[in-house]
Amino acid sequence: MVTKTIAIVAHDHRKRDVLAWATEHVSVLRAHRLIATGTTGRVLSEELSLEIERLKSGPLGGDQQIGARIADGLVDLLIFFWDPLAAQPHDPDVKALLRLAVVWNIPIACNRASADFIIRSPLLAEAYAPEQPDIENYVNRSIAL
């Protein structure tokens, strides 16, 4: 069994959903390293006695902290139950987090169905190195000034 680092984020109206999902998969989650934004981490830790590294609340920089870890290759999977029906004051941070997960080819689950598929994947227990973007070409590209 390979331990993965799983980042968990849930907007306020989705915290109940992520808690229900985590409750169903608590035994699998316990086998991995978990990080979460502030309130989501507190809810999961208190309700399920999970060991979670809690970062700042999303609007206070937690989404960006997770994004930085993704860019540094320190996150294997992002579970992000976002609320598509509510405006978020930190919407640019949300979009940046999702963009980084896509750039760095990190699996993203944005709802319970996709989270179920990912958490039940045999790849969760195996060594897996996602294909990385071609950074050299991007960094060394020619820019017209």
Annotated catalytic residues are 63
* Cβ-based burial of 115 (10 A; exposed 0-12, middle 13-18, buried ≥19): buried
Structure tokens at 70: 């993704």
CA–chain centroid gap for 66, Å, is 7
CB 35 within 8 A of CB 7: yes
CB 30 within 8 A of CB 50: yes
Strand partners, 140: none
Structure tokens at 51: 């060991």
Residues in the chain: 145
